[in-house]
Amino acid sequence: MAGRVLHRAGRQPLAPVDEAVISGCGRSEQEWSRSAPLQTLAQTSVEGLLADAQRLVVVSPHPDDEVLGCGGLIASLMQQRAGATPLLILSASDGEAAYADDPSWPPDRLAAARRQELIDALAALGAASARVVSLALGDGALSARREALQAALAQQLRASDLVLVTYAGDGHPDHQACAQAAAAAAALCGARLVQYPIWAWHWSDPDSAPFLRGALKLALSETARERKRHAIAQFRTQTGHSDPAPRAPILPPWALARFHRPFEVFLP
C-alpha cells in the first residue's frame, strides 16, 4: 500500500503522491457502508471473474496490495478449485521505502520482512502453492521505471491469464504505474485485465465514486473473509505489530476496515 505519506510532514516522499488526495484518514468505512453506488453494484462470482482463464496473475505494487484488494478472491479460488488454477503473484517492489524516516526499518531489512509477510499471508489464504516473483524495481520508483516494469510483466504473462492489477486512477504513482504497465503487457499477449482499487477507497466520494461505474462485487464466504483477515494480519510491519513496531504504521485500524468487508470490488 505504501502509505507513508499519510504520516509524513516536511519531507519529500520517494513517491510523489498527490497529497491533496491521499492524506489524513480519508473516507471512513462507515461512509462507504452508506454508499449508494457501492450498495448497488452488480454481483460477480469466482467463475464469472475467471471465466476461461487458465491462471490467475496478481500484479502488486507493494507486498500487501494483492491481499488487501484480492485476498478474498484468492481464498475463494483456492477453496473452490483446490489449486486447479495456478496463482502467480508479481511483486513490482518490496515496499522497502515505507518507513524511510524510521531507523529501525532501513530498506534492506524492511524488504526482507515484507517478502516473508507476503509468503505468510498467502499461506493464510490457503495459497502456499502460489508462485511469487519479486521484480524489485523499487518502492516509489515504479512510475520512473515503467518501461522496465512493462517488459518484466510481459515476460511473465500469457494469453490465457486473468491479470489483476491496482486501479489506474488509484491516486498513488506506484499503483498507477503498475496498472499502465500491466495493461500494456496484457494487451501485447492478449490476456484479460481487471483492476482492483486500494487508495480510491481513501479519497473517492462514496456518494458518487465514479470509479465504481461498471464495477463488480464479489461476495465472500465467512471462510474466505476469515482467511483474508488472518492473511492481512501477517503484514505485521504494516499493521504495527512487528518487533520493533514502526513509529507510524501504514495500516491502522481505520485503513484496515475498508479491507475487512464481506466483499471485494473489481473493475473489469
Minimum CB separation of residue 2 from Zn ion in Å reads 4
Minimum CB separation of residue 101 from Zn ion in Å reads 18
CA gap 138, 92 in Å, rounded: 8
Q: Is 89 exposed, middle or buried (0-12, 13-18, 19+ CB in 10 A)?
A: buried
114 lies in the site for Zn ion, by CB under 5 A: no
Minimum CB separation of residue 238 from Zn ion in Å reads 10
2 lies in the site for Zn ion, by CB under 5 A: yes
Residue nearest to Zn ion (CB): 62
228 lies in the site for Zn ion, by CB under 5 A: no
140 lies in the site for Zn ion, by CB under 5 A: no
Minimum CB separation of residue 173 from Zn ion in Å reads 10
Kindly tell me which residue out of 15, 65, 264, 266 binds Zn ion, with binding defined by CB under 5 A: 65
198-234 residues labelled b (16+ CB within 10 A) or e (exposed)? bbbbbbbebeebebbeebbbbebeeebbebbebbbbb
46 vs 111, which CB is nearer to Zn ion? 111
Q: Assess contact for 173 and 142: CB atoms under 8 A.
A: yes
118 lies in the site for Zn ion, by CB under 5 A: no
Instruction: State the number of binding residues for Zn ion (CB under 5 A).
Output: 5
CA gap 152, 93 in Å, rounded: 12
Stretch that binds Zn ion, among 16-24, 61-69, 113-121, 241-249 (CB under 5 A): 61-69
For residue 122, CA distances in Å to 43, 64, 112, 161, 229 come to 25, 10, 16, 19, 12
Kindly tell me which residue out of 4, 27, 62, 146 binds Zn ion, with binding defined by CB under 5 A: 62
The backbone torsions φ and ψ at residue 134, rounded to the nearest 5 degrees and listed phi first, read: -95, 115
**Residue span 169-208 as binding mask against Zn ion, x where in contact by CB under 5 A, dash where not:** ----------------------------------------
Q: Assess contact for 92 and 142: CB atoms under 8 A.
A: yes
Residues that bind Zn ion (CB under 5 A): 1-2, 61-62, 65
